[in-house]
Amino acid sequence: MTTFLLKTNCELHLHGAEPRPINASQWEGATVSALRPRKLEGGPGKEIASGDALVVWTHEDPEFGNGQGLTATATAGSVTDRGETLDVVLQEVKLVQPHVRLNEQPPGPSGSALLDFLKGNRHRRTIEVSDEDLSQFWNAIGKIDRERQARIGAYMRSMPKSAEEQALDGDRQQIAEGFERRFANVEVRPEQAAFRRALIRLYGTKCLISGNQVEAVIEAAHIVPFSEGVEFRNDVGNGLLLRADIHTLFDKSLISIRPVDSRVIVAPSLKGSAYEKLAGRLVQHKARREFLARQYVEFARRNPSGKS
């Protein structure tokens, strides 16, 4: 098996597939038009064959596709020779989250010859990648993500504590106990109907994760299980409208919404199920990020290999 990085214009060379996917299913089975491979150090590379590994990086410039940068990994399916180009079917697609963009990178060496090459050569490419270059590349991408998370964390720590964060701190023990109860069973609350009506007024009757609009199965989900006396317990900023089954998974910390970018995260135990395709979806919510962050921490605690 050989690995190839495809640098492509997502609006011109994906044969009509969604140019900026929010979940892997939007690219599964899509065909990408790729140039014939070249080696990183120059010269012709191997031909792409079925079963080869692919890394897809889309042009970020608004005039050349307005892509997301490092977007996905995939396995090559069928490959059709078109002369100067190859049509390659994408299989086993996995989105890279969060995406990494060249226009966000500082000047100077990154520790990856491949990434440095991309920074200096932004045109359409198909590059054969050696195992050593691939290892350096993913190490550099991991470093970029860690540095980004550190900057976000430093920024958040520098902010004065909001009323919501103060409530979270003051109710810490009760919240921990609430998460434990929630994981064991779904709580029924007398005031749930009024909370649901308030959320419907805010969002309309629609599951924020699946998009389902059947009112009978749409429920109001509390993000953080505050105790009775906290003012934010039934604040709409502490709520989401979710389909009944997704609500249950959310309460059991098997689904979460990453507060940094509002994308859905799914526990590893749901891999292979219908819920796996929800991973990576962008949620258009009006919830308070402090509450999402607390639920996300609980999700990460119960799914140590599922946080990304």
- From residue 138, give the alpha-carbon distance in Å to each of 103, 131, 250: 18, 11, 31
Q: What is the pLDDT of residue 11?
A: 86
For the beta carbon of residue 79, count every other beta carbon within 10 angstroms: 18
**pLDDT (tens digit per residue) in 182-192:** 665 555 555 57
Q: What is the pLDDT of residue 137?
A: 93
Q: What is the pLDDT of residue 308?
A: 52
Distance CA 300, CA 308 (A): 9
**pLDDT (tens digit per residue) in 85-109:** 999 999 999 998 778 888 778 888 8
Give the mean model confidence (pLDDT) for residues 259-283.
Answer: 91
Cα atoms found within 13 Å of the Cα of residue 232, Cβ hemisphere only: 22
**pLDDT (tens digit per residue) in 6-32:** 999 988 999 888 888 878 889 999 999
How does DSSP classify residue 44? B
Confidence of residue 62 (pLDDT cuts 50, 70, 90): confident
Give the distance from CA 84 to its chain's centroid: 34
Give the mean model confidence (pLDDT) for residues 255-260.
Answer: 93
Query: pTM score, two decimals?
Result: 0.55
